[in-house]
């Protein structure tokens, strides 16, 4: 079917049978006053607008997290203006930089819950003690251990951004000759 411009009805011309076009509100048991109609339109607009806003994903404000043990929290006021640095190893070595600080940054320093490891491993000649730390943001321990940043799978930052938890800790390397502590950061992908 082809639309012909001449078949479009003019807005200023009334249709041939316009006698019943104004009876829609007469069937209601409410007086058809201008205020009643405006109230109905306003109520419908608010309801539709509220429904639409409820469907839109809202950005949540940054908030501190607490680790499963309940003794360490995320930072929400530290490292302002910091520059993220590349991971030194792990799953996200080739991803966009996300975490800051530490001699070593890697997913290898994370436990299964995505927080810095707190265990030991090693061989008969070398032991690695993993400890979560909470003294990097402030001079004293304040139980704040991690922060969340977004990063892309592409080194240049293009593409989908993913949230990462960067959880501070230390690894102490123990050998027959002594022990050496290193500041480390666990990088955990949260989605």
CB 98 within 8 A of CB 91: no
In b/e form, how buried is each residue of 35-47, taking b as 16+ CB within 10 angstroms? eeeeeeeeeeeee
pTM: 0.61
Q: What's the pLDDT score for residue 54?
A: 47
Percent of the chain with pLDDT over 90: 31
DSSP state of 129: E
Distances (CA, A) of 12 to 5, 9, 22: 16, 9, 16
Q: Which of 78-82, 98-102, 120-124, 133-137 has the lowest mean pLDDT?
A: 78-82
Q: What's the pLDDT score for residue 180?
A: 96
Q: What's the pLDDT score for residue 62?
A: 40
The model's pLDDT over 141-163, given as tens digits with 9 standing for 90+, comes to 566 778 888 888 888 888 898 98
- Which of residues 105 and 80 earns the better pLDDT score? 105
What does the pLDDT average to over 48-53? 56
CB 83 within 8 A of CB 101: no
């Amino acid at each position: 079917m082809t639309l012909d411009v001449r078949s479009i009805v003019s807005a200023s011309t009334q249709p041939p049978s316009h006698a019943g076009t104004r009876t829609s509100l007469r069937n209601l048991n409410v007086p058809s006053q201008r205020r009643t109609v405006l109230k109905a339109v306003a109520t419908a607009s608010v309801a539709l607008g509220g429904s639409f806003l409820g469907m839109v994903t809202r950005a949540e404000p940054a908030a501190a997290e607490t680790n499963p043990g309940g003794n360490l929290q995320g930072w929400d006021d530290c490292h302002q203006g910091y520059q993220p640095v590349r991971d030194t190893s792990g799953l996200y070595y080739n991803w966009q930089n996300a975490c800051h600080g530490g001699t070593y940054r890697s997913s290898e320093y994370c436990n299964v819950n995505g927080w810095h490891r707190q265990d030991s491993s090693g061989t008969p000649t070398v032991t690695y003690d993993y400890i979560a730390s909470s003294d990097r943001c402030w001079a004293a321990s304040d139980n704040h251990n991690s922060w969340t940043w977004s990063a892309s799978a592409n080194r240049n930052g293009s593409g989908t951004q993913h949230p990462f938890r960067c959880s501070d800790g230390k690894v102490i390397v123990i050998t027959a000759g002594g022990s050496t502590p290193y500041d480390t950061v666990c990088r955990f992908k949260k989605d």
